[in-house]
A = this chain, B = another copy of it.
């Protein structure tokens, strides 16, 4: 479920954070279900527990999971997070249009790419 890419320039803990965000936002991991323990995931990925700990702390800070001392870490409710993610995507789109205009990409060129992208329905 989690794969570390050592060629990736991003730090390991960040890769773990992003992978869990994805699994959580897409509903692969259900609300209140338990994550692997810090130690177990560390063993499984052959990574230091401190690095996992750092990833989990960040996920908790961002509201993706909650940790209970002595019990474990659990998936948080995600409605709010999914909504936030959608807003981020639309913001990114808005920024990209701004950039496109600055470099002379026409509205036609741009919208063609968008429309084609939405046509391909089943690619994931």
Using a CB–CB cutoff of 8 Å, the interface residues on chain A facing chain B are: 6-7, 9, 11-12, 25-26, 61, 66-71, 74, 76, 82, 85-86, 89-90, 92-94, 96-105, 107, 109-111, 113-118, 123-124
Contacts and interface: CB of A to CB of B under 8 A. Distances in A.
Contacts of A68: 6, 12
Interface of chain A, main secondary structure: helix
Copies assembled: 4
Contacts of A12: 68
Given A74-B6, A111-B114, A100 B105 contact: no
A12 B69 CA distance: 9
A110 B100 contact: no
A121 to B, nearest CB: 8
